[in-house]
Amino acid sequence: MPFFKSGLLLLVVALTCAACTDRKQDAEQALARARQSLDGVRAEAAQHAPHELSRAEDQLADLDNRLAQEKYEAVLDGIPALKASIESAAGSSRKASSSGMALAVEQWNSLSTELPPLIGLAENRLDMAVKKARTSGERAALEAARADLSEVRSGWARANSAFGSGRPVEAVAEASEVKRRTHAVLRQLGISLG
């Protein structure tokens, strides 16, 4: 009988160790998958959903600590909440990003209506000023304005290209710079638009 009891005890210990090893592997794998998911949303969430990202990172750090303390069941129990936090950060980020895109498209629509006539006005006024220039100093100043206006046209082409390529935020940034530079050219020509 004593042999049977010690054999049974060894069997129980072996099964317990195997179960612990399985739980450890399960916890490590679940945590690795969650970390990979968080890494996948981190950049965008940092910009658009920093609070949700912070919550998920705190939960991940807590589960890392529990894993180090060999609290495998606690790690596995905490994974669903961590996944929910990661999904929340990703969802908030997507929502903020899409609303930012919608705002950029709205701004683009306004700028694309406003800028072509403004650039045309600057070109016409510059041509008229060049014809009326009397001194070489006036002509030199107007040539500088012409160079600036050439940059305006290039910037406007880049803005249109960005918008056409599905990058409205970049297009709005470029168009805003075009607007600023066009106003500067008009001021050089003595025209103030307020």
Rounded-to-integer distance, Cα 136 and Cα 132, Å: 12
Are 82 and 114 members of one domain? no
- Of 96, 124, 146, the residue that ends a domain is 96
- The count of domains in the chain is 2
Are 58 and 119 members of one domain? no
- The answer to whether residue 193 is domain-embedded is no
Helix, coil or strand: residue 142: helix
Mind giving me the DSSP string for 14-75?
A: HHHHHHHHHHHHHHHHHHHHHHHHHHHHHHHHHHH-HHHHHHHHHHHHHHHHHHHTT-HHHH
For residues 100 and 8, the model is more confident at 100
The whole-model pTM stands at 0.54
- The answer to whether residue 103 is domain-embedded is yes
Q: What is the pLDDT of residues 97-140, one digit of tens each?
A: 777 788 888 999 999 999 999 999 999 999 998 888 888 888 88
Domain residue limits at 173: 99-188
Are 92 and 112 members of one domain? no
Rounded-to-integer distance, Cα 185 and Cα 194, Å: 14
Are 82 and 104 members of one domain? no
| CA distance from start to end of the chain | 102
- The answer to whether residue 149 is domain-embedded is yes
- Of 69, 96, 123, the residue that ends a domain is 96
- The answer to whether residue 128 is domain-embedded is yes
Rounded-to-integer distance, Cα 190 and Cα 74, Å: 73
- Residues 21-46 as b/e (b if ≥16 CB within 10 A, e otherwise) read eebeeebeebbeebeebbeebbebbe
Is residue 18 over pLDDT 50? no
Are 44 and 58 members of one domain? yes
Are 155 and 108 members of one domain? yes
User: In the prediction, which pLDDT does 112 show?
Assistant: 93
CB 155 within 8 A of CB 125: no
- Of 96, 118, 141, the residue that ends a domain is 96
Q: What is the pLDDT of residues 130-183, one digit of tens each?
A: 888 888 888 888 888 899 999 999 999 999 999 999 889 899 999 999 999 999
- The answer to whether residue 194 is domain-embedded is no
User: In the prediction, which pLDDT does 115 show?
Assistant: 94
